[in-house]
Amino acid sequence: MVEGLFITFEGMDGSGKTTQMRRLASRLRGQGRAVVETTEPGGTAIGQKIRQILLDEKNQELSATAELLLYFASRAQNVDEVILPALRRKEIVLSDRFTDSTLAYQGCARGLGAETVLALDRIACRGLRPDLTLWLDIGVETSLARARTRNTETGSAETRMDEQSIEFHHKVYQAYQALANQEPQRMRRIPADATVDEVERRIWEAAAPYVI
């Protein structure tokens, strides 16, 4: 590879992004590739503190604009501290969420608009865009059911995002559909209503041309 490769994982909560990202990372490392995994919000010590603010269900008074700016604060730190340095080392960076999440959740579902999100993206990310985005596609009802099951099994409290209305989650899903339709070459739809192994196979089919 002449330069690093940036692959992002997108989708509703419960779509299996984290599991599949770890599987892809393991597969690539098994082939001798240098891989960096990161997540958003988070990915750095500063980003993790921002994540706690964003997801804490007690912070119901957090405004949509403040929420948006916090996501980009976390992203800017992640880009500068983790992602760009790894790409300069010609490594493969895998990220659990990136700007497409912000377009879907804050731009569309919160109603702040794509123009606002993309203006902040230009500042925070300095033109960095994923080479490939893997959208793990599950329906809204499946997403919410999986999130409830996960919280029950792990004893986790609901996050601010878990507590949003069904209408909010439908807007997020519709935004992902629109994004995939706008950029079908970059954003690849991966049907995720299958076994973990089958979803992994579909992801490898989409990612292999970029990494082999």
Helix axes 166-182, 140-154, angle to 10 degrees: 120
Between the alpha carbon of residue 194 and those of residues 142, 166, 197, 201, the distances in Å are 12, 23, 8, 11
pTM: 0.92
Angle at 83 between CA 79 and CA 87, to 5 degrees: 135
Q: Using CB atoms within 10 A of its CB, is residue 206 exposed (0-12), middle (13-18) or buried (19+)?
A: middle
Spell out the per-residue pLDDT of the chain, length 212, in tens: 448 999 999 999 889 999 999 999 999 999 999 999 999 999 999 999 999 999 888 898 999 999 999 999 999 999 999 999 999 999 999 999 999 999 999 999 999 999 999 999 999 999 999 999 999 999 898 887 877 777 666 665 566 666 778 899 999 999 999 999 999 999 999 999 999 999 999 999 999 999 98
Half-sphere exposure of 1 (CA within 13 A, CB side): 18
**Residues 18-41, buried b or exposed e (16+ Cβ, 10 A)?**
eebbebbbebbeeeeeebbbbbbb
**Separation of alpha carbons 162 and 24, rounded Å:** 27
Closest CA to 97 of 11, 36, 164, 200: 11
* Confidence at residue 164, expressed as pLDDT on a 0 to 100 scale: 76
Domains of the chain with CATH codes: 5-211 (3.40.50.300)
